[in-house]
Every structure is written in structure tokens, then in C-alpha cells.
Amino acid sequence: MRVNHIHKRYGSVVACENVSFGLEYGECFALLGISGAGKTTTFKCLTGECYPTYGDLSINGHDVTTSSGFQKARKMIGYCPQFDTIFEGLTVMEHLQIYAALKGIKASLRQALIDKQIVDMDLVDYVNIRANNLSGGNKRKLSVSIAMIGNPPLVFLDEPSTGVDP
């Protein structure tokens, strides 16, 4: 991944300014900063939720600021946004089944990968519970599970432990 001098403005408000970094396969990297520093905006630019005002973003050589580049890059991304994007009427299991299918995981492999996420994220007791009945911490665990399903080579976690018991 390569982030080169990205800037994002919303009108006259500067959300992030001159952000640059690069990552190689297998590296772990954290964006740290005070509230309002631009961490979430940087994630939004990397995941195609918004485009930088200017600067260059690429994932595995694909320019994520173009629709064709992003379509290729998005297959490599797992994303847990700052705020949960789960469907209140669906159970934990239904969420993971849907997202596994959306990510293109072979049907024959899905259940084993889903079961692993459920165990890894300590959601065994909540498999058949609807999202609207989960605690805030368990909703975050579900969001992290969705990001991790299928073991994507690039995972963005925006405040994944908020509300999760240590």
C-alpha cells in the first residue's frame, strides 16, 4: 500500500493534510493521533468511501482513486469502520454468512471460516442473537469478524476495541 501526500477537504475544513506512508506485505501499521487528526478520513479514502482532494493512493499497484482501480483493490480489503455497519434484524451467523458470500469465499469453505471467526472473537454464545440485541462490545466484535472473514491481505480497523471488555 502506498499513500502519498493525500489531502482531504470538506469545503474550507481540512480533514487530513499531507499524509504519506507505505506498507509492505506482512507489516502492521497504526494511525495514531488526537480526535480530529484525520485517521478516519484516511481510512475512508483508502476504502473508497470518499476520495482525497488530492494525493495518490494505491493498493497492490491499483489506484484506489479510480473506480477500476478500486474495484480490483477492494477484493484485498477487510474493513471495520469506526461506527458499526451491521443490520439490526440479522443474527451474528447471518451477518457472517452474507459477508462471506459477498467476499466471494467458496461455499464449501464458508462455514469453517465463519466458525473460526465466531470462536476467535468469542461470539459463540451469540450466534443466533440479532444484532439489535447485542451489547456495544459484541457489535464491535461482530464488525471485526466481518472485516477478518476470509483472511484478507489488508485489514483496516478503525477503533476496533471501543466498548469491548479487555
CATH code for the domain in which residue 32 is found: 3.40.50.300
CA–CA gap between residue 96 and residue 136 (Å, rounded) = 18
Q: Would the pLDDT of 163 be above 80?
A: no
Distances (CA, A) of 84 to 3, 128, 155: 25, 18, 16
Q: Which domain holds residue 104?
A: 92-157
Q: Are residues 12 and 42 in the same domain?
A: yes
Last residue of a domain, one of 14, 44, 75: 75
pLDDT grade, residue 166 (50/70/90)? low
- Is 149 in contact with 117 (CB distance < 8 Å)? yes
- The CA-to-CA distance between both ends of the chain, in Å, stands at 30
pLDDT grade, residue 71 (50/70/90)? confident
Whether 83 maps to a domain, the answer reads: no
Helix (H) or strand (E) holding 96: helix 92-102
Whether 116 maps to a domain, the answer reads: yes
Whether 86 maps to a domain, the answer reads: no
Q: What integer pLDDT is reported at residue 150 of this predicted model?
A: 87
For residue 13, count other CB atoms closer than 10 A to its CB: 8
Q: How many domains does the chain have?
A: 2
pLDDT tens profile 86-139: 999 999 999 999 999 988 899 999 999 999 999 999 999 999 999 999 999 999
Q: What integer pLDDT is reported at residue 75 of this predicted model?
A: 82
Mean pLDDT value across the chain: 92
Q: Are residues 6 and 71 in the same domain?
A: yes
pTM, two decimals, is 0.87
Q: What integer pLDDT is reported at residue 95 of this predicted model?
A: 97
User: E-assigned strands of the chain?
Assistant: 2-10, 13-22, 54-59, 62-63, 77-80, 154-157
Q: What integer pLDDT is reported at residue 61 of this predicted model?
A: 92
pLDDT top residue among 164 and 84: 84
Q: Are residues 61 and 21 in the same domain?
A: yes
Q: Would the pLDDT of 45 be above 70?
A: yes
pLDDT, mean of residues 39-55:
92
Q: Are residues 64 and 7 in the same domain?
A: yes
pLDDT grade, residue 143 (50/70/90)? very high
CA atoms within 13 A on the CB side of 54: 1
Output the nine-digit C-alpha cell for 27: 507489516
Longest CA–CA span in the chain (Å) reads 51
Q: What is the DSSP string of 31-75?
A: ---STTSSHHHHHHHHTTSS--SEEEEEETTEETTSHHHHHHHGG
Q: Would the pLDDT of 59 be above 70?
A: yes
